[in-house]
Structure 1
């Protein structure tokens, strides 16, 4: 009875590593260890899109001010005013359009830099993840010398690093957008 239990325990411990010894697919490893990875990437992409709407609140104010000055200019022009009044309305309209154009350029450059930084961070995470997948596959195929405890710690540390990197990106995007 004791021998049977010992043999069963050995089979339970050895069988999983032997079953994977042939070959482990990357998709299997990703499904098993990185199930929330794609959701995290989607969350970053969504935050990038939201950033576009709120990173430059002055653009919205200047847009409404420019529209108001254009409408005022059209109203003044239709009422056949003096040259001075018309010139003043035109100068206000041109000034507002110029300010809006400048703000849009600055906003666009700012958004481009922020998005570039977050995309670089996503690429760094993808490279790190690929290395971790390789370590996992190597271990599951029995081609490394890591103990189960070392492997578990390595995977846990790697997954923690990836999660914290995603949190850092999201925090950065959210602070830029406020």
Structure 2
């Protein structure tokens, strides 16, 4: 009977302390990944600015298209000759075609880069989750790593995540 009471007391005392000793993911995030959300936000902001970076010629082509459209409309209003109208219309159509082509090319490039960067963000998130799990296991005493090995492993993981973010941002800011 004493053994049973002793075992019950051990479970009552040890089980709650084990539950309390478990390290939470939010604690690990606060300790090791404090800038992670800021870096993700920075990537998302860079994705939003892709059109400005990639489509520098679209603004100029838009202005050129507006100018040629205005010239054509003025020629129609002033009842210009057929030759002048044909020339103005051809110029307007060419400018619109060039503008639409540039917009399509820009849009395709932007979507492709955004897709690649989103994929890279998913890879980083998976790597981070794996790292968080290993950190939690170490802090909860579930692994056999020494403190030096643990520190080196965490440093290497954090450096890898940082370099991946840098690579994403570089790819989004380059033309």
TM-score, normalized by length of structure 2? 0.87
Which structure carries more relative contact order (alpha carbon 8 Å, separation 6+)?
1
The corresponding residue for 1:137 is: 136
C-alpha separation in 2, matches of 1:65 and 1:20: 69
Q: Is the 8 A contact 1:51 1:174 kept in 2?
A: yes
Aligned to 1:99: 98
- Match of 2:82? 83
**What CA RMSD, in Å, does the superposition of the two structures yield over aligned residues?**
1.5
Return closer, same or farther for 1:154/1:21 CA change in 2, 3 Å cut-off. farther
Q: Tell me if structure 1 keeps the 8 A contact 2:47–2:172.
A: yes
TM-score (ref. length: structure 1): 0.85
Residues of 2 paired with 1:25 and 1:76: CA distance? 73
Question: Does the 8 A contact of 2:53 with 2:173 survive in 1?
Answer: no
**In the alignment, what sits opposite 1:146?**
145
How far is the alpha carbon of 1:21 from its aligned partner? 7.3
Count of residues in correspondence between the two structures: 159
Per-residue CA distance 1:116-160 (angstroms, 9 max, x = gap): 111111111101000000000000111110111111110010001
Q: Which aligned runs of 4 or more in structure 1 are off by greater than 4 angstroms?
A: 18-21
Shift of 1:22: 2.6
Contact kept in structure 2, 1:21 and 1:142, CA below 8 Å: no
Q: Is the 8 A contact 1:132 1:158 kept in 2?
A: yes
Structure 2 unaligned residues grouped into runs of 5+: 1-16
- Kept in 2, the 8 Å contact 1:20–1:141? The answer is no
